[in-house]
Amino acid sequence: MNKPTLIVLIGPTGIGKTDLSLSIAETFHTSIISADSRQLYADLKIGTAAPTPEQLARVPHFFVGTLKLTDYYSAAQYETEVLKKLNELFKLNPVVVLTGGSMMYVDAVCKGIDDIPTVDAETRKYMIERYEKEGLEPLCAELKLRDPEYYNIVDLKNPKRVVHALEICYMTGKPYTSFRKQTAKERPFHIIKIGLKREREELYDRINRRVDIMMEEGLLDEAKSVYPYRNLNSLNTVGYKELFKYLDGEWDLPFAIEKIKQNSRIYSRKQVTWFKRDQEITWFHPDRQQEIIEFIGRKLEEFNQ
């Protein structure tokens, strides 16, 4: 029996993944799994450019709007749940589309997450209290001592990553890096990876315009509605954290909007850097839709031979 196929459509924020993923899913009469760590939250529709009701009606979507802001969620949970869902979906159709820009979520499904120990509640509480009391800088300094290798590669401005690494160090007495073997797991399905790219100027223009559209669609009201939860990790997200600065009275609104655009552009560069390391991706301009669909068709034929 031939193995089923997962079509993975990736690229930076604002590149045009949503429209193309709908066309691909409709061509192959299948459904879409979102690989966007923020579209999972039901209250963050506008700021995460979640699929609209019309788009959801065109193609069945999974892993969109399923969590509350207070829910704890990880890439490891995502890996487990998506593999289970794929098992169900492949019984209905030998092809499924996965699309999004959350790099770790894409890798979790395609390559697997390392078997890192689950942090116990006591250690988590202790580290969160330390972060709240001491701030990020002392924790970064401690990480440098306990795991210099991870210190050199982690985003030191991301408290979630720094705190989690220290939790593992405390719990196991070993460096976090010792658990990160990064050996790809075998999957019971073929994977076709399509990457989308545009010239930087073109992408930046799209990102800037998309932020303006989000503001017109009510992003400020959405930010106000989730403002009471602003300290949660789910809201450490471009678009919301800048508007919280405005709501706190630190920034004026035009400046906050400019910062959303700037931080979205910075995030897009990080995504591109991450994806470029993956040699399995075939790159296309999003406008080459017919070419992309024909390429997928040829790959599927190869797999079926």
Tens digits of per-residue pLDDT, 139-170?
999 999 999 988 988 888 888 889 999 999 98
Please say if the pLDDT value at position 255 is more than 90: yes
Compute how many other C-beta atoms are within 10 angstroms of the C-beta atom of residue 81. Answer: 16
Strand partners, 41: 67
Q: What is the pLDDT of residues 166-179, one digit of tens each?
A: 999 988 888 988 88
CA–chain centroid gap for 5, Å, is: 21
Question: Residue 182: pLDDT band by 50, 70, 90 thresholds?
Answer: low
Where are the domains positioned within the chain?
5-113+185-304, 121-179
The C-alpha atoms of residue 233 and residue 247 are separated, in whole angstroms, by: 18
Please say if the pLDDT value at position 234 is more than 90: no
Please say if the pLDDT value at position 63 is more than 80: yes
The C-alpha atoms of residue 45 and residue 39 are separated, in whole angstroms, by: 7
CATH architecture of 5-113+185-304: 3-Layer(aba) Sandwich (3.40)
Compute how many other C-beta atoms are within 10 angstroms of the C-beta atom of residue 110. Answer: 21
Q: Which residue has the tokens 């009510």?
A: 218
Q: Which residue has the tokens 């019309």?
A: 54
Domains 5-113+185-304 and 121-179 share a fold: no
Q: What pLDDT is recorded for position 120? A: 84
User: Coil, strand, or helix at residue 224?
Assistant: helix
Q: What pLDDT is recorded for position 171? A: 86
Q: Which residue has the tokens 């994806």?
A: 275
Compute how many other C-beta atoms are within 10 angstroms of the C-beta atom of residue 111. Answer: 17
Q: What pLDDT is recorded for position 99? A: 98
State the average pLDDT for the chain: 93
Q: What pLDDT is recorded for position 183? A: 75
Question: Residue 253: pLDDT band by 50, 70, 90 thresholds?
Answer: very high
User: Coil, strand, or helix at residue 52?
Assistant: coil
Q: What pLDDT is recorded for position 265? A: 96
Q: What pLDDT is recorded for position 1? A: 58
Compute how many other C-beta atoms are within 10 angstroms of the C-beta atom of residue 206. Answer: 18
Distances (CA, A) of 237 to 27, 52, 263: 33, 20, 10
Quick check: 49 and 212 in contact, CB under 8 A?
Answer: no
Model's pTM, two decimal places?
0.83
The C-alpha atoms of residue 63 and residue 273 are separated, in whole angstroms, by: 25
Q: What is the pLDDT of residues 10-27, one digit of tens each?
A: 999 999 999 999 999 999
The C-alpha atoms of residue 239 and residue 265 are separated, in whole angstroms, by: 12
Fold of 121-179: Histone, subunit A (1.10.20)
Question: Residue 53: pLDDT band by 50, 70, 90 thresholds?
Answer: very high
Rounded mean pLDDT of 241-267?
A: 97
Question: Residue 193: pLDDT band by 50, 70, 90 thresholds?
Answer: very high
Q: What pLDDT is recorded for position 60? A: 97
Minimum mean pLDDT range among 65-74, 198-207, 222-231: 65-74
Q: What pLDDT is recorded for position 118? A: 80
Please say if the pLDDT value at position 254 is more than 90: yes
Quick check: 140 and 105 in contact, CB under 8 A?
Answer: no
Name 251's Cβ contacts closer than 8 Å, sequence gap at least 6.
242, 245, 259
